[in-house]
Structure 1
Amino acid sequence: MSAALTLAKPEHLDKLVTLCAAFHEEGGITQTDEARRAALSPLLDGSPYGAIYLIGPARAPIGYLVICFGWSVEFGGLDAILDELYVRPGVRGRGIATESLIALPRALAEGGLRAVHLEVDRENAAAIKLYKRAGFAPRENYMFMSRKL
């Protein structure tokens, strides 16, 4: 099984909605397929705000990741938030997520990306271990905060 990454395109929307629904169900995120389609479509249509990558073969992806772009004075330019990462349960534990988390930032750095951030549940030891293995580290005295608008 390969963690080959393919930039997702509009024709991948149905596959992505299915993967995203599985990820949301696992994480307890309540959202309709219509809302998922509305959130994913602009990124598939070339929005400058982010991108979606399929993990594995594009015809039958085994996962996906969503990265959203921003700007950071602190980090010296273009940065990104890894918004979602999902690998199907049946193929987990094979290093696919780790390989993806190492390959994508490396590729984006060539385009000028300075930092990638992510949010993780403090109780999810497996995810924390995965992210640390891929080179992510908690920032002391900082926590991710949100305000829904």
Structure 2
Amino acid sequence: MKHIFWLVDGQIAGRSGPNKDAWNLAELKQAGFGAIASLNNAEGCDTAAMTQLGIKHKVFNLPDNIPPKPQDLTVCAEVLPQVLAFIRECESANVPVLLHCRSGINRTEMVMAYYMMENGAAPVHAVSQVRNASGLAFDADGWDQFVYDVLYELQSASN
């Protein structure tokens, strides 16, 4: 499907949001997606249509500052574990999850890197795996370092 890239085939994928690149929810459902995590304010998301199609939807409004602001680290360290809990809930029900922000590049890949780290990858390997999956990860000014700051903060919090 257009604009979709898989981190883990059949389980977790990312893409740009409907406020940037229109999507067809029926096609997403037909492709197997049973859950969508909006990593922005869900602009352009038709929540009524998601409900009608049986797609579980949650909004996790992550900051998109370019470059990131100092307070963004605290927000991300608080919100990313909530996103991971949603992903784990979907995984346990065998429901593939689609992650999106506006462009599907920085916030989406940051969540993916955290997912990989929580599945045992070192932060540098988690970021590398996400870059291989998407090809565009962390290209905005300051985000290349910011993703590591967030991952190390979360890693130290869990130890």
User: Same fold, TM exceeding 0.5?
Assistant: no
More strand by share: 1
Q: Which has the higher contact order (CA 8 A, sep 6+)?
A: 2
TM-score range, shorter chain: 0.3 to 0.5
More helix by share: 2
**Scaled by the length of structure 1, what TM-score is found?**
0.33
